[in-house]
Amino acid sequence: MNDAIKPGPEIPSQAAGLPQLSVVVPTFNERDNVTVLYRRLDATLKDVAWEVIFVDDNSPDGTWDVVRGLARLDPRVRCIRRIGRRGLSGACIEGILASSAPYAAVIDADLQHDEAQLPQMLALLQSGKAELVVGSRYIEGYRAEGFNKSRAGASAFATEIARRALKVEIADPMSGFFMIRRDRFEQLAPQLSTQGFKILLDLVATAHGKLRTVEIPYTFGARQHGESKLDSMVALDFVGLVLAKLTHDVISLRFLLFAMVGALGLVVHLAALFIALEVFRAPFPEAQATGAIVAMTSNFILNNFLTYRDQRLKGFAIVRGLLLFYLVCGVGLLANVGVAFSVYDQEPIWWLAGAAGALMGVVWNYAMSGLFVWRKR
């Protein structure tokens, strides 16, 4: 047996009945950390009936295989291997909904969260003092061993935006370490976004202050193996989530990202049109067609990389998807012009007609792209 999947020398028997606590761990390329985390949970929760659910996004390093090895040795370990889906928020939602305990904790696999706080968090929930307990970085008693200054600054800035824009009252809505009553989570789950990284912010904003919350300090440890999954995409996810919540979820995070890419595509279109006219001296119809094709191509690439990165097309599927995207956007252009003309005929205000047409175009392109280009696999 591979040393990576060997638990401790002794495996305690499963407590009678259902577990009281389900620990949900979203993973991606955390092969070297999952066994260490399992052992820490085993030591920390020795007086608690618990289970751990690793939700792995089909890690190339075989994290899911290590977890399955642990599961064969200890029935308290479970593995959900997701194919064709990506994202921390979605993984947390699936893991909690698949849990069997009345309380669920979310903890990162990178060993930076302090699992020693789990018994205290569970006690607060069981006593009825809280429905949600958050491991907070912004209250007295918190210590950091592995939080660099740039990441800390970005997190503090995002926290301030979230608190002001969404009227979130807790000190650390950006935390990735929390525990919640599963019944309360299930009530909120249908309104949560499966995209992005900030599941706690989504939870608190969706609850509108109706989740009784307690925050506790903890020690943020240094990452031992692997690399952080946070990158520039997280910032866009965050902005999209805030805007979605400000519209009371009328507009989804994915639609906002699609629209942002579309706005950038307009800039690309105009730039390509200018170059074709001024540099290559092309006639306007050919220049306009060139601008449209360049813009649609850039929009497809950005949407595949950003908006639909959890369903990203690869290999030959990229060619097929691009051709379908051209077709979808071509029909969307007709819808755009048709609506704009209709509005202008009723009310000859050019900017109103143009905006109505553009909105119709982006709604059509978004709906049809989801149906035909980036279909759920």
For residue 210, pLDDT beyond 60: yes
**pLDDT tens digits for 117-144?**
999 999 999 999 999 999 998 888 777 6
For residue 11, pLDDT beyond 70: no
Nearest to 100 by CA among 136, 66, 76: 76
| CA atoms of 311 and 252, how far apart (whole Å) | 16
For residue 227, pLDDT beyond 60: no
Mean pLDDT of the chain: 86
Structure tokens at 129: 């003092």
Give residue for tokens 């909904």: 97
- The rounded percent of the chain whose pLDDT value lies above 70 is 88
Q: How far apart are the first and last CA of the chain?
A: 34
| CA atoms of 327 and 202, how far apart (whole Å) | 35
Confidence category of residue 331, pLDDT binned at 50, 70, 90: very high
Residue type (1 letter), 301: I
For residue 1, pLDDT beyond 50: no
Confidence category of residue 336, pLDDT binned at 50, 70, 90: confident
For residue 10, pLDDT beyond 50: no
Nearest to 81 by CA among 89, 100, 66: 66
For residue 162, pLDDT beyond 90: no
DSSP 195: S
pLDDT at 13: 39
| CA atoms of 39 and 32, how far apart (whole Å) | 13
Rounded to 10°, the helix 149-166/199-207 angle is: 20
Torsion, Cα of 220, 155, 134, 243 (10° steps): -160
For residue 186, pLDDT beyond 70: yes
| CA atoms of 54 and 67, how far apart (whole Å) | 7
pLDDT at 241: 78
Confidence category of residue 257, pLDDT binned at 50, 70, 90: confident
> Ramachandran region of residue 249, left (φ > 0), alpha (ψ -120 to 50) or beta?
left
Query: Which of the two residues, 376 and 104, has the higher pLDDT score?
Result: 104
| CA atoms of 210 and 371, how far apart (whole Å) | 36
Confidence category of residue 215, pLDDT binned at 50, 70, 90: very high
Give the pairing of strands 132-136 and 178-181: antiparallel
For residue 264, pLDDT beyond 60: yes
Nearest to 125 by CA among 214, 18, 216: 214
Q: What sections of 169-315 are H helices per DSSP?
A: 182-188, 199-207, 232-246, 253-278, 284-302
pLDDT at 354: 74
3-state secondary structure of 78: strand
pLDDT at 103: 98
- The rounded percent of the chain whose pLDDT value lies above 90 is 50
Q: Which residues of 163-178 are buried (b: 16+ CB within 10 A; e: fewer)?
A: beebebebbbbbbbbb
DSSP 315: T
Confidence category of residue 34, pLDDT binned at 50, 70, 90: very high
